[in-house]
Amino acid sequence: MMRLWPVVVTVLLTAAVARYVYIPLPDTIQEPWKLMMVAAGLRTSMHLASLKDWLGCDHYVKSVGPSPSSESADGATKAGSDGGGVVPGVKVSDITLAGIPVRVYEPPAGGEGHLRRGLMYFHGGDWAFGSAERRSSDALNRMVSDELNTVVASVEYRRYPEVHFPVPYLDCLAAAKHFLSTEVLAKYAIDPERVAVSGASSGGNLAAAVAQEISIDDGVSVKFSVQALIYPALQALDFNTPSYLQNQDVPVLYRPLMVRFWLQYLGADPSLQPQWLVNNHSSSHHPAITPELRARSDWAVLLPPKYRRNHKPLVVERGSQGPAKEAPGLLDVRASPLLAGPEVLAKCPRAYVLTCENDVLRDDGFMYARRLQDAGVTVTNDHYEDGFHGCFSFIVWPVEFDVGKRAVRGYLTWLQNNL
């Protein structure tokens, strides 16, 4: 009998681990068990971080994942066949632009006398996590620099909990203006007609907002030629779009978590999360939400019928009190670029918008692509039916997804052809 105990314990532990790891996923996801393992790891990290926060040891944001320095790709990144990694010849240097830390990637020497492309990149991480040094961001930017002969400037903007909106946006805008200056472009031999701005997730939010501001600022002589947005977060009015509801339980970005990140970014009380989840913060009686403003994020009009399905817009008649005081940046286009007027969008550079079917932010990207097109901007919308939020970052060993590598390849190809 004693000999059976190890077997019984092993079986029980295996069952417990399997129960913890397993979550139902959409059939379109091609590597479900790999994603389940990633999600379990992230979930465990968040639980432990929240426990440390509750015990008063450290803020949960600072406890999630390894520190940026430990993820630096300087000799540490291993890459798959199509992944990133240390690219021989790419020169990496840490500088400041307008006082903002920036990591610059310069392509291998060669072609003296020829101007190069330029790209400003804003990493993701929900305005709280991530870093310009993070392995996935570092690997991506090395690839862009090497393959496209591009000088990449990856911005280390300030993040929550130290700051909230509009500080990350202002950091990115200041760095962008400096990057576009005649002096900096000349220093790095960048063609002023071939400069892009790009970002993923919350970085896509920042890239879209910065692109809008630069496009209408007459004081900036050099404008961005293109914008490349990777599953961007673009509005906080409606957390009941079809994609928010369809993908609310799909890793790695769950619906309640995205609401939490928006509350953090806008400096609002986290206890408002239940109210925001049912759109009480954007009720029909909200004094500042005019019909025109609401129409700018009306997915019932902006989404193709295929993606509306049988969903109905949720507009609460009377919501929470004092919405402007709860989150004063809620309707600020610098925080929610989707709410910008058509006259602003019409001046924006041509765009690349990457969306994933299994992502709560899918419809944000769809709606922005449609609004840009309606304003006369040329838009390429690359949609991945097997994609999920975060897949663009999963290109570095030991976590590589085929859809992530395909998405990065599509992004590189578009930049090659359009920048």
Q: Which amino acid is at 33?
A: W
DSSP string, 282-334: G-TT-TT--HHHHHTT-HHHHS-HHHHTT------SS--S-HHHH-TTTT-TT
Q: Which residues are designated catalytic?
A: 201, 359, 389
Cα angle 320, 326, 329 (rounded to 5 degrees) comes to: 120
- On whether the CB atoms of residues 121 and 200 are closer than 8 A, the answer is no
- On whether the CB atoms of residues 263 and 225 are closer than 8 A, the answer is no
Q: What residues contact 12, with CB distance under 8 A and at least 6 apart?
A: none
Question: Rounded to whole angstroms, how far apart are CA atoms 185 and 252?
Answer: 37
**Which has the closest alpha carbon to 119: 150, 92, 94?**
150
Among all chains, which residue has been given the structure tokens 């991945």?
384
Domain ranges of the chain: 66-236+340-418, 242-326
Q: Identify the sign of the CA torsion 342, 348, 352, 358.
A: negative
**Which has the closest alpha carbon to 360: 278, 277, 276, 241?**
241
- pTM score, whole prediction: 0.91
**Which has the closest alpha carbon to 243: 133, 355, 333?**
355
**Which has the closest alpha carbon to 171: 101, 247, 72?**
101
Question: Rounded to whole angstroms, how far apart are CA atoms 12 and 6?
Answer: 10
Q: What DSSP state is assigned to residue 79?
A: B
* One pLDDT digit (tens) per residue for the chain, 419 residues: 556 766 555 555 655 555 676 888 999 999 999 998 998 887 787 667 666 656 677 676 665 644 333 333 333 333 333 334 567 789 999 999 999 999 999 998 765 568 999 999 999 999 999 888 888 899 999 999 999 999 999 999 999 999 999 999 999 999 999 999 999 999 999 999 999 999 999 999 999 999 999 999 999 999 999 999 999 999 999 999 999 999 999 999 999 999 999 999 999 999 999 999 999 999 988 889 999 999 999 999 999 999 998 899 998 887 655 555 678 899 999 999 999 999 999 999 999 999 999 999 999 999 999 999 999 999 999 999 999 999 999 998 888 999 999 999 999 999 999 99
Q: Place domain 66-236+340-418 in its CATH homologous superfamily.
A: Alpha/Beta hydrolase fold, catalytic domain (3.40.50.1820)
